[in-house]
């Protein structure tokens, strides 16, 4: 009998990074459910820090759209934003190279707006053979139709659509560890 396999789409702590896209003060206020996006993004950040996994975050045209929301930057002390003018993070300095240099083959995505910067980034990462897991409860758009259509399009093109809590427990893989205890407190 051949060995039992795990699904290769399950996230692995050996190859996963978190990418937070453009959760900036000036546009966050007009998003649908901004508090939900922020709280779930913070859960992801805290969980990734517990697991000591790479975290990257971008800012779209900060001169005009302001900096990343303070609740998020408070959790990202020691991390620096990657600034961009392009909608896709493909144009965000050397982000794609940094992912490659860190042997990242799976990226968890949070951010705004679902149908613009998030979607374009996801499609570009997929084109570069990186598995994407979009945390549906940590992305948003101004309009429901844009949000739903973006999730549908990203899924159709190969992205995994999931939730923040599912991501964290998938990365844990097992219970009973100190990391499990810490993440259990985070998701409550």
Whether 84 is a known active-site residue: answer yes
Residue given tokens 């101004």 in the structure block: 142
From residue 2, how far is each of 10, 12, 162, 186 by CA, in Å?
20, 22, 30, 38
Residue given tokens 């992205």 in the structure block: 159
Out of 84, 89, 124, 137, the active site residue is 84
Whether 94 is a known active-site residue: answer no
- The strands making up 55-60's β-sheet, listed across from edge to edge, are 82-84, 55-60, 16-21, 106-112, 131-140, 160-162
The stretches of the chain forming alpha helices (DSSP H) are 25-28, 34-50, 62-65, 70-75, 95-101, 119-127, 144-156, 164-172, 178-187
Instruction: For residue 122, give the nearest of 147, 150, 100, 141 by alpha carbon.
Output: 150
Out of 22, 89, 124, 137, the active site residue is 22
Q: Helix (H, G, I), strand (E, B), or coil: what is residue 22? A: coil
Out of 43, 89, 117, 137, the active site residue is 117
Whether 137 is a known active-site residue: answer no
Name the residues annotated as catalytic.
22, 84, 117
């Amino acid at each position: 009998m051949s060995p039992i396999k795990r699904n290769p789409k399950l996230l692995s702590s050996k190859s996963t990074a978190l990418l937070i896209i453009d959760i900036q003060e000036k546009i966050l206020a007009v998003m649908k459910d901004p508090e939900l996006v922020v709280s779930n993004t913070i859960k992801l950040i805290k969980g990734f820090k517990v697991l000591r996994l790479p975290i990257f975050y971008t800012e779209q045209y900060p001169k005009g759209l302001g900096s990343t929301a303070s609740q998020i930057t408070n959790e990202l002390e020691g991390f620096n934003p990657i600034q961009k003018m392009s909608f896709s993070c493909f144009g965000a300095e050397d982000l794609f190279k940094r992912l490659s240099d860190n042997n990242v083959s799976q990226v968890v995505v949070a951010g705004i707006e679902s149908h613009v910067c998030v979607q374009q980034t996801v499609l570009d990462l997929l084109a570069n053979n990186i598995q994407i897991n979009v945390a549906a409860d940590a992305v948003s758009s101004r309009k429901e139709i844009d949000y739903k259509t973006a999730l549908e399009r990203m899924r159709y093109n190969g992205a995994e659509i999931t939730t923040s809590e599912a991501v964290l427990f998938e990365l844990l893989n097992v219970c009973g560890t100190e990391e499990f205890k810490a993440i259990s407190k985070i998701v409550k």
